[in-house]
Structure 1
Amino acid sequence: MAQTLETLSRHSDTLKSIRGIVHTMKTLSAINASPYEHAARSIEAYHQTILQGFAAFAYRTGEIALRRDGALEHLVIVFGSDHGLCGNYNEILADLVKQHCQTQIIGKRCLLCIGAQMNDALDDQGLTPDAVLLPPASADGIGRLAGDIVTRIDRFSQGQPLAHLAVTLAFTQRGEQGLREPVTRRLLPLNPALLQREKYWNSCSLPDYTMPADALLSSLIRSHIFASVFRASAEAMVTENSARLALMQQAEQSVDERIEQVLGELRSVRQTEITNELMDLIIGFEALKKRGKRKGEQAQRT
């Protein structure tokens, strides 16, 4: 069905408005990703310091053999998106969490979900989170979220030994060639490699400490947990904004192509109307010309 010039004009104006919205969302995604990326780099540097602290503690104290009892309690922390416009970001991660729960967890399980939309995605997979937290609205909120999660891990442990507690982080991280990949990372029990003693200490000064060993180790473990949770949250926010940016770029390209198509149709319809008006003028002129000629012939006969 042929569209009128007025209809195509309204359609073009609507598409231009949509393009403006898409461009704004793309710009916001690019701007928002930068602080989260900076936070991820910063916490990674801090985490490396904590890992060096573990190495120094093990060198000074001697290698510590961690208990490898089967974990009795399993906590899975899932970092999702709550802002939309990022495709199947939550659904892909929810599917990975379901596979992890089915293959890696035996016994009691607890799910802590970050993001209401992630909660819906987990519910579609038949998983019901025990608690839902809101994702950070800015890079400053990552620290508050990480502190809240560490507190909840303390409550979840209920004084149990670390060997009886398993904590897994599920989030989406940056992959190779600008891609993103959902991953699961074991946070607890601690990796035995953290407390393995190095044969040689690469420094002129040997490590030492003055505070009680138990208190120092407890502080190192808490800092390790905080840094790991912080980094997972920052990576999740970086990849969420990257996914939204990629989708907005695709949407902007599609809208641009549609605008070009509508403008082409608009030019065609406008040209057709101009042609029709010109034809009406020519036909009218010819009709008047013929009528004037007939009147002239009649006047000559009379």
Structure 2
Amino acid sequence: MSETLGNLRRKMSGAGKLGSVVRTMKALAASNRGQYENAVSALIDYDRTVELGLVAYFQQGAGLDYGVDQAEQIDKGVIGAIIFGSDQGLVGKFNEALVEFTMDALSALPGEKRIWAVGERVDVRLKDAGMPPVGTFVVPNSVTAITPLVGQILTEFEKHRRKGEIGQVYLFHNRPQSGALYESVNQRLLPLDKQWRHHLTEVSWPSDNLPDILAGGETTLSALIREYLFVSLFKACAESLAAENASRLAAMQRAEKNIDELLEDLSRTFHRLRQSTIDEELFDVVAGYELLSKEKK
């Protein structure tokens, strides 16, 4: 079907409007990526402080009450997994790659698995993979919205942990790398067992002044564990959001390039067709002039 100038004008107008939308989404993705990466960077010092607090506690030989009962039955408990994905599309293979990584990791672990998804898109991917989530959380739309999400997740898993329904909890998410790249990673969040405690006892204290635990050691430990769980979940969510926006930024850059190439092709076709139309009109004028001249003679 041959193109007309009207059709080409409509296509060029539509491509131009789509390009404006893509540029807007590109700017938003770049801005959002920056705020989430800044949030992750801001957590580094706080995370280190919490870790050193736990190091100080356990290097003095203090006991650990939280999670010991679950740790002793780690092989019998159900494995819980939290998957941080996206609610929105236009993120390339962000959710597909994460689900594939999660399925491979969970298949290597024995026992029953229960999955909680953060994001509607990853929820759909998990269902397609044959492992539907038992619950779904909404992806935060800002840094300030991450804290309420973390509270919901902790409340949900504490309820199941107290009932003895879950023995282990793993986090799965995408972590941003340089440029628009990201990698899928996982972390065992619970239980806080001997392996976790042993790791902390091997961490070197950063100075020659050794720490001391004042009265109320159990209260201090409970507070440090709460902060450890909070920071771990907050960091995983912020890294996932940063990676999501990096992936969306890359997708918008590809879309912008494709739209520019399309506009260039349409423009060439439009000018070629327009020139052809002008040539035809000039030919008709010349032919008509010659015909009139012959009739006068």
- Return the TM-score normalized by structure 2: 0.90
Corresponding residue SS for 1:184: strand
Structure-1 residue corresponding to 2:97: 92
* Corresponding position: 1:102 with 2:104: no
Structure-2 residue corresponding to 1:258: 262
Q: 1: CA distance between counterparts of 2:93 and 2:202?
A: 44
- Displacement of 1:62 in angstroms is 5.6
Structure-2 residue corresponding to 1:216: 220
The one-letter amino acid paired with 1:276 is: E
How do 1:176-255 and structure 2 match up within 5 A? 176=178, 178-190=180-192, 191-196=196-201, 201-255=205-259
Q: 2: CA distance between counterparts of 1:137 and 1:15?
A: 29
Q: 2: CA distance between counterparts of 1:70 and 1:143?
A: 31
Preserved CA contact (<8 Å) 2:29 2:248: yes
Corresponding residue SS for 1:289: helix
Structure 1 range deviating more: 204-213 or 273-282: 204-213
The one-letter amino acid paired with 1:9 is: R
How do 1:23-102 and structure 2 match up within 5 A? 23-61=23-61, 69-71=72-74, 72-102=77-107
Corresponding residue SS for 2:141: coil
Q: 1: CA distance between counterparts of 2:150 and 2:264?
A: 47
Partner deviation per Cα, 1:67-112 (whole Å, 9 max, x = no partner): 66351132101101001111221111112222222211x2232211
The one-letter amino acid paired with 1:78 is: I
Preserved CA contact (<8 Å) 2:30 2:246: yes
Q: 2: CA distance between counterparts of 1:269 and 1:201?
A: 76
Q: 2: CA distance between counterparts of 1:209 and 1:30?
A: 44
- Displacement of 1:61 in angstroms is 3.8
Preserved CA contact (<8 Å) 2:176 2:246: no
Evaluate the alpha carbon distance shift between residue 218 and residue 78 of structure 1 in structure 2; reply closer, same or farther with a 3 A threshold. same
* Residue ranges of structure 2 left out of the alignment (5+ in a row): none
Preserved CA contact (<8 Å) 1:63 1:196: no
Corresponding residue SS for 1:145: helix
Q: 2: CA distance between counterparts of 1:79 and 1:18?
A: 29
* Corresponding position: 1:285 with 2:296: no
- Displacement of 1:204 in angstroms is 4.8
Q: 1: CA distance between counterparts of 2:226 and 2:160?
A: 14
- Displacement of 1:218 in angstroms is 2.1
Preserved CA contact (<8 Å) 1:111 1:128: yes
Evaluate the alpha carbon distance shift between residue 249 and residue 102 of structure 1 in structure 2; reply closer, same or farther with a 3 A threshold. same
The one-letter amino acid paired with 1:175 is: Q
Q: 2: CA distance between counterparts of 1:21 and 1:95?
A: 31
Which structure would you say has the larger Rg? Answer: 1
Partner deviation per Cα, 1:234-263 (whole Å, 9 max, x = no partner): 001000011001001000100110000001
Preserved CA contact (<8 Å) 2:119 2:137: yes
Preserved CA contact (<8 Å) 1:64 1:196: no
Preserved CA contact (<8 Å) 2:181 2:246: no
- Displacement of 1:272 in angstroms is 0.5
Preserved CA contact (<8 Å) 1:44 1:231: no
Q: CA RMSD in A?
A: 2.3
Q: 1: CA distance between counterparts of 2:205 and 2:45?
A: 20
Preserved CA contact (<8 Å) 1:80 1:118: yes
Q: 1: CA distance between counterparts of 2:263 and 2:220?
A: 64
- Displacement of 1:9 in angstroms is 0.9
Corresponding residue SS for 2:89: coil
* Residue ranges of structure 1 left out of the alignment (5+ in a row): 295-302
Corresponding residue SS for 2:145: helix
Q: 1: CA distance between counterparts of 2:282 and 2:46?
A: 76
- Displacement of 1:165 in angstroms is 2.5
Q: 1: CA distance between counterparts of 2:265 and 2:244?
A: 32
